[in-house]
Chains A and B, each alone.
Chain A
């Protein structure tokens, strides 16, 4: 059987379109928000680097990073540095509700950036973290 080139072309285009239509990933609305604040483009690699960068905020005994509570493998649970309470994995692939509630994301960026870095994260930093969390 021969396949007409035109139908193969149509199939490829159709698949491509279909992929585009369903590829609005969890967290893309957050990315749009940060773009609206003048940031971007974002990269998972930059997020991964920032993830392990250590900071010494004022008053902290030991250096802190995202790893302190969330660990290095985001598909695994973390543990609160002070209370020992388990933290659900951050990766969307491991915890389906991650990045689905913008208010919750902003709340925890606010609290955790201040604890870890001693300041708020910039929209650029947040976007990179979101891309990193999406990528795992």
Chain B
């Protein structure tokens, strides 16, 4: 085999890889499913940007899974942080300076302000229901979980709630919500 051939083949492979990367980076929310498939083959863009703010992790993650900012659009985070005195039934008030700091972090990395395919999907449609917006009320979340029976989640004492992401999504804390790493306690792997 000639050196020239090897060089040409190598260059072609690199170009292929680069084009795949560029394609998945620029995928938009309307093409989520396609983008997700693309992501699996080439580069894992199906994940969410992980939590990087230690104070957010400590304060909000003290009571529940530290939901990635990319799970809700900026306006929804503003609603959540503006109603902490009645946070889904609990008083989760923080001092004003800390509230503002955490809101800035959430807004800056919100679903509609980052380029991850899955984040864009969360921001694609208005959120249903009254009161503070719930991630579980987004159209994308509901579409992804509509085949999961209540006995696996609400009636499963080891899970209890759809808000308890990491009980089933074992990679949730790193932002990996790929269904291939879902393992439901007492049930096992689940693929729809």
Mark A residues whose CB is within 8 Å of B. 80, 82-85, 111, 114-115
Contact = CB atoms under 8 A, between A and B. Distances in A.
Contacts, number: 30
B91 A84 contact: no
B164 A84 contact: yes
Contacts of B131: none
Given A82-B64, A85-B65, 7 more contacts: A82-B88, A83-B64, A83-B65, A84-B164, A85-B64, A114-B91, A115-B90
A84 B90 contact: no
Contacts of A83: 63-65, 160-161, 163-164
Contacts of A114: 91
A51 B163 CA distance: 28
Interface string B2-33: 00000000000000000000000000000000
Interface of B: 63-65, 88-92, 159-161, 163-164, 167
Secondary structure at the A interface, as helix, strand, loop or mixed, is: loop
B87 to A, nearest CB: 10
A75 to B, nearest CB: 20
A82 B64 CA distance: 9
Contacts of B91: 111, 114-115
Contact of A84 (B88, B89, B161): B161
A111 to B, nearest CB: 7
Contacts of A115: 90-91
Contacts of B64: 80, 82-83, 85
B65 A82 contact: no
Contacts of A80: 63-64
B159 A84 contact: yes
A11 B90 CA distance: 56
A82 B167 contact: no
Contacts of B92: 111
A110 B44 CA distance: 42
A123 to B, nearest CB: 21
A101 B30 CA distance: 48
A82 B161 CA distance: 8
In the A-B complex, list the 8 residue pairs whose CB atoms are closest, starting with the nearest.
Answer: A84-B160, A83-B64, A84-B164, A85-B64, A84-B161, A83-B163, A80-B63, A83-B63
A111 B91 CA distance: 7
B64 to A, nearest CB: 4
Nearest to B59: A107
A85 B63 contact: yes
Contacts of B161: 82-84
B31 to A, nearest CB: 33
A111 B93 CA distance: 9
10 contacts: A80-B63, A80-B64, A82-B64, A82-B89, A83-B64, A83-B163, A83-B164, A84-B159, A111-B92, A114-B91
